[in-house]
Structure 1
Amino acid sequence: MTDGPGAPPSFAVIVVSFGSSGLLRRNLAAIDLSAEAAVVVVDCFSDAAERERVRALARERGWEAVLLDDNAGFGGGMNAGAARAIERGARVLVAINPDASIDPRSLSALVAAADADPMLLASPRIVSSTGEPWFAGADLYLDDGVTRGAAARERFPGAARREWATGACFAISTELWERLGGFDEEFFLYWEDIDLSQRALGLGARLELVEAAVATHDAGGTHAAAPGARAKSELYYYWNIRNRLLFAVKHLDADGVRRWQRSAPRVALGVVLRGGRRQLLTTAGPWRAYVRGLRDGRRIVGERAA
């Protein structure tokens, strides 16, 4: 179901929320948007009280609310929001996480880049709330499926790699979005942005970091185990570990899939250690996600290879 007004926008800002009404009020409501923009908030159902908070906030701010009956994940939520924005006539789609914000000048630069080149997937530089770099381009290394920031390229000269753009904030023309068919909802959470990037490159599109655009990412946002904590949620670990192998079977040849399977335990441990070592002594969640993610990822490989 949808709530909200319907004026034709030139671009739309789309946010997927799951229990994130507080972040929406703090971050999205602070973005000063022009009359040419629409805001589409997709609420993946978490509970009735949260649903009402999102509905009320959308009415208060004049946002369009797309209210899903269940949790469709990030990819499914973005697809639903993009479909509504396209119905309203948006030429450019801007995705931004609930735990991120962007100033009007940066938003304009991002939209202008995607509007000028319909075969461009445009990203801002993203910094943390303390100003530390969070995203300035990223690469997927094809030998073992490790992801690293663009700053690591000098340390790995000659390595086979492909660029990818984070789903935390990006702009894309509706033309390119529709050619891609949006996000692959099989990923549910994490790696869907890497998959989208690879499919975009396969169509001849370009990925570009728009230097004039800067977004801020709240490190205590949607996937931390607790606000401000370094440790991530069990879901973060699980879907990152599982979806790495799902990506492999969708994009690599048989030799590549075997390489990624061999390196899976090591890479999965690296994912878990993003939350630090202390968590491993205090909770079973990271270990549970490690085991389940590897198990389900290998099951996918086995099923697809059969």
Structure 2
Amino acid sequence: MTAVPAASSSSPTLADVTVVFVTYNSAAVILRAVASVPAACAVVIVDNASPRGTAWQKELTRPATVLDMGRNAGFGTACNAGARAAQTRFVMFLNPDATLEEEALPRLLAACATYGEPLILMPAMADESGRLMRKEGTIFEKVPRSARLKEAEIAGDYCTRFVHGGAFLVSRETFEDLGGFDEQIFLYHEDDDLSLRALARKVAITVVPGARVMHAQGGSSTPGMGQTFRINRFKQQSENYVRAKYGRSGSRFLRACKLAGGCVLALCMLNLHRFMVRAGKLRGLFDPVAAPHRK
């Protein structure tokens, strides 16, 4: 669906934006990410008690506010803390392993002036090879890769139904009205939940292809088999929570059978990584589900 322009009372500038990063052992990538932010923007970095510390602060080449959460509070909770610390009209959430191309923020702001608020704006995200990273539906309406828009099919800005938590621009007012990220979600699917609330309140989610971000997937942490298991356990815990929150839990038995079958198949193929993915999700499937937070 194509975004429909609307009049705007004021045109935002770069000085109206605070870029918020959440770090956790992100020393290898955060300096490059911060360096990609235009000088006129404020920067807030929220650290989730990185075990390896934050000695990288001494190497920052521009002013930035660094907040220490004192514990690993989770992605959404840290983002909310960064948004509260911001003093500007807009907040741009950006992963520490992502970098803004030179015209990314000016083009997002131009789109905001064109379409008016409330809305959430996303840049086009590409990996190191230039391949676009696109997800066009929430956890409840997954769009297969074969059905997603191809780059050659995109002629301009367009509306979508999913906010990628790795890079998006929103006014602080809109973000606060939506309730921010749900802090019951420790990690993963917090953007699905935000998307569902935005859709319910008719807040347009608009992609601006002319604004680009390079995202090095997995660059903010060191992968390993144990970490793969934990990540996928967290993913499943978050999925359980979001499903419960929206009354879409479905059959846990059927999902367990599917994951168990995936474990067996992965072992037969001697694919340890795939086995740890399925095993982590299978373990997470039976973890307790927190009482949903509704706002």
Structure 1 residue runs without a partner (length 5+): 1-7, 155-161
Supply the RMSD in Å over aligned alpha carbons.
3.4
5 Å matches for 1:1-306?
9-29=15-35, 31-35=36-40, 37-47=41-51, 50-51=53-54, 53-58=55-60, 60-85=61-86, 88=87, 90-114=88-112, 117-135=116-134, 137-140=135-138, 142=140, 147-148=142-143, 152=147, 163-222=161-220, 225=223, 233-252=228-247, 256-259=248-251, 261=252, 263-265=254-256, 280-281=271-272, 285-286=276-277, 288-296=279-287, 299-300=288-289
- The secondary structure found in structure 2 opposite 1:164 is coil
- Could you give the per-residue CA deviations for residues 150-196 of structure 1, whole angstroms, max 9, x where no partner exists? 75269xxxxxxx92111010111111111012100111110000000
Partners of 2:103 and 2:194 lie apart in 1 by 26
Structure with greater proportional helix content: 1
- Could you give the per-residue CA deviations for residues 83-121 of structure 1, whole angstroms, max 9, x where no partner exists? 001xx2x11110110111111211221233346533111
Q: Residues 12 and 92 of structure 1 are in contact (CA less than 8 Å); yes or no, is this contact kept in structure 2?
A: yes
Partners of 2:189 and 2:108 lie apart in 1 by 22
Partners of 1:23 and 1:276 lie apart in 2 by 34
Compute the TM-score of the two structures, normalised by the length of structure 1.
0.75
Q: Residues 138 and 150 of structure 1 are in contact (CA less than 8 Å); yes or no, is this contact kept in structure 2?
A: no
**In the alignment, residue 25 of structure 1 is paired with which amino acid?**
L
- The secondary structure found in structure 2 opposite 1:131 is coil
Deviation at 1:241, TM superposition (A): 1.4
Deviation at 1:57, TM superposition (A): 3.6
**In the alignment, residue 173 of structure 2 is paired with which amino acid?**
E
Compute the TM-score of the two structures, normalised by the length of structure 2.
0.78
Partners of 1:205 and 1:181 lie apart in 2 by 13
Partners of 2:93 and 2:262 lie apart in 1 by 24
Q: Residues 260 and 282 of structure 2 are in contact (CA less than 8 Å); yes or no, is this contact kept in structure 1?
A: no
**In the alignment, residue 57 of structure 2 is paired with which amino acid?**
R
Identity of aligned residues (%): 27
Deviation at 1:17, TM superposition (A): 0.2
Alpha carbons of structure 1 residues 244 and 224: separation in structure 2 relative to 1, 3 Å: farther
Q: Residues 140 and 164 of structure 1 are in contact (CA less than 8 Å); yes or no, is this contact kept in structure 2?
A: yes
Alpha carbons of structure 1 residues 44 and 267: separation in structure 2 relative to 1, 3 Å: farther
Partners of 2:167 and 2:190 lie apart in 1 by 13
Alpha carbons of structure 1 residues 151 and 284: separation in structure 2 relative to 1, 3 Å: closer
Alpha carbons of structure 1 residues 129 and 79: separation in structure 2 relative to 1, 3 Å: same
Partners of 2:198 and 2:98 lie apart in 1 by 24
Deviates further, 103-112 or 284-293: 284-293
- The secondary structure found in structure 1 opposite 2:137 is strand
- Could you give the per-residue CA deviations for residues 175-228 of structure 1, whole angstroms, max 9, x where no partner exists? 1111012100111110000000111111220111112111111024135625xx
Alpha carbons of structure 1 residues 234 and 34: separation in structure 2 relative to 1, 3 Å: same
Q: Residues 259 and 278 of structure 2 are in contact (CA less than 8 Å); yes or no, is this contact kept in structure 1?
A: no
- The secondary structure found in structure 2 opposite 1:163 is coil
Partners of 2:104 and 2:132 lie apart in 1 by 16
- The secondary structure found in structure 1 opposite 2:169 is strand
- The secondary structure found in structure 2 opposite 1:194 is helix
Alpha carbons of structure 1 residues 177 and 283: separation in structure 2 relative to 1, 3 Å: closer
Structure with greater proportional strand content: 1
